[in-house]
Structure 1
Amino acid sequence: MNEAPVAVATAVIFLWLGMVLAISFLEAPLKFRAPGVTIPIGLGIGRIVFRALNRAEIALTLVALVAITVGRPPGSVVALFAAVVVILAGQLIAVRPRLNRRSDRVLAGENPPRSTVHLYYVALEAAKVLALAALGIRLLAG
């Protein structure tokens, strides 16, 4: 790959990784431990934060796509980037809408039965973290 596109792609991937780690694995669980934060308040905050994160992820995906494409990457970079994109798409298309429907019910005052959908999102976040880390390391290795 060419130097400038590699530098851009590497920076974008590690920025993305940091955002996911900070929001999904630090902010999200901690907000419910704050004094006075009820489940509805935490869900409302979480929806806003994750909507912003997902928009940023889409933007970072597009920047990384351009940088990687321009840089004529090896197959391993393409495969890892494709894995990240598929994971993100799965979260946005298959899991987030289901989480939103459930949180809509909670915010409307209902008490829906417990769901395992959140666990799928967490599992996909963990997979995305691993794929982003592997991609970033691969980009650094040249």
Structure 2
Amino acid sequence: MSNCYCGRSFSYDSCCGTIHQDISTVTTAENLMRSRYSAFVLANGDYLMQSHHSSTRPSSKEKKSIVRWAKSVQWVKLEVVRTTLGKSNDTEGTVHFKALYYENGSLQMIEEHSKFVKEQGYWVYLDAL
């Protein structure tokens, strides 16, 4: 059994795959962030839009661009540096992460402090801090 794309030692089907099937099952901001990383690896634009807060969600045109870019790079790994709040009883939280990928043969990194909130009872990505 190989690890989930998010780096956890579970299969995709029992980790991020469950969340991709039903976003209401995500219990923490960190798990939501991990599921979004896996969605980038899989270029799952529908999930990326669904897991994005309605007030900051990219347009349909931007979604196509995001999916095209996600398919054009080779994802390497996700590193969660720190989380603040974001537990099941919280309504907001932050996750500091690093996502490594190859683009045009060069190792690149996205480092972000992301803010997550609950919208309609489940965790969503709001924006970068």
When normalised by structure 1's length, the TM-score is 0.27
Q: Which has the higher helix share?
A: 1
With a CA cutoff of 8 Å and minimum separation of 6, indicate the structure with the bigger relative contact order: 1
When normalised by structure 2's length, the TM-score is 0.29
Greater Rg over alpha carbons, structure: 1
